[in-house]
Amino acid sequence: MTVHSGYEASVQDLRLGDHVCWSYGSDDERDAVLQSYYALGLETNEQLFYFGDCGSGTRVLNALRRSGLDPDGLIADGRLVVGDARDAYLGGDAFDPASCIEGFRVVAHRAVAAGFTGARVAAENAQFLTHPAIKDLWYDYELRVEVLTAGEPILGMCSFDRRQCSPEALAMLDAVHRVKFDPADSAPRSAFHLHGRADGRLALSGEIDSFDAGRLQRLLASPARQLEDLVIDVSSVEFIDAAGLRALEHSAECRSGSRAALRLHGASPLFRRIWLETARPGVAVEFAD
């Protein structure tokens, strides 16, 4: 079932191609989920990856041992790879989203070449929401991961310790993950969702009003300036008010003269009529079915 906050999944539902937002409130909760997450990955012959922080790798390995798995043997066989999330994202002390995306693409392809069905990844990412070198680029990076996972044999579970995250950050994260995994049903929700698709388009769904418009504008700021072609499918937008339209309008205005106009696909007749009646003159937008 598709809802505003993304597809709601249990750990048993997760599959290659999913981009998952998972938040937890205690170390015990984290360990229990990862035990199941990795046990299921072994059953489906996926190569397992865990990128931790501040000693969490050791704690997770101990949790896997308690569950009856043999992490040392899995590491020796190449079935489990454990690393530091900071090394994964900050190879040269600078965060380069494009390089990170390409790195994870290579990980998935190498897993398949080695005889696995794909790569099953979990990474501790709460630390990067306030990291000075990463925080301003993080949500743009998450949108890129949406596109990556939609077209590659990789399951990416972005893990966030709620004790380290603000409610606003959790709502933003909910908005840019295709799959929501929240067993405790305690993380903030977003009324709208902005997905990446394998064809490079973004898909906007749910409801956008004056309360959410600023969040949408922030999420679209980087794609609006960087993508040569910015195409947003709005066919699943259930409600949008003037403030929400202004956020899309702002994205259109951010397009430089050398880039194509913002293209909106699947807009309803009412959406188009309101846009034409309220948009400022000269805003370059193209509508398509």
Q: Give the per-residue pLDDT at 189.
A: 87
pLDDT-derived band of residue 8, with 50, 70 and 90 as boundaries? low
Express as a percent the part of the chain with pLDDT over 90: 63
CA 287 centroid distance within chain: 26
* Cβ contact 175:207 at 8 Å: no
Q: Give the per-residue pLDDT at 254.
A: 87
The contacts of residue 204 (CB under 8 Å, 6+ apart) are 192, 193, 194, 195, 216, 232, 233, 234, 236, 237
Q: Considering the domain 196-288, what is its CATH architecture?
A: 2-Layer Sandwich (3.30)
Q: Position 286: which residue type?
A: E
Least confident of 2-6, 173-177, 214-218: 2-6
Q: Is 90 exceeded by the pLDDT of residue 83?
A: yes
- Which two tokens mark 135? 């925080």
Q: Is beta strand 192-196 parallel, antiparallel or unpaired with respect to 179-181?
A: unpaired
Q: Which fold has domain 16-189?
A: Rossmann fold (3.40.50)
* Cβ contact 254:225 at 8 Å: yes
Q: Give the per-residue pLDDT at 108.
A: 97
Rg from Cα positions in the chain: 20
Q: Is 70 exceeded by the pLDDT of residue 194?
A: yes
- Which two tokens mark 139? 């949500």
Q: Is 80 exceeded by the pLDDT of residue 210?
A: yes
Q: How far apart are CA 205 and CA 240, in angstroms?
A: 10
* Cβ contact 34:64 at 8 Å: yes
pLDDT, tens digit, 9 for 90 and up, residues 85-143: 998 888 766 888 889 999 999 999 999 999 999 999 999 999 999 988 888 889 989 98
Domain boundaries, the chain: 16-189, 196-288
CA 96 centroid distance within chain: 16
pLDDT, tens digit, 9 for 90 and up, residues 263-283: 999 999 989 988 888 888 878
pLDDT-derived band of residue 4, with 50, 70 and 90 as boundaries? very low
Strand order in the sheet with 202-208: 192-196, 202-208, 231-240, 262-265, 285-288
Q: How far apart are CA 62 and CA 256, in angstroms?
A: 52
pLDDT, tens digit, 9 for 90 and up, residues 28-47: 999 999 999 999 999 999 99
Provide the 10 A C-beta neighbour count for residue 184: 11
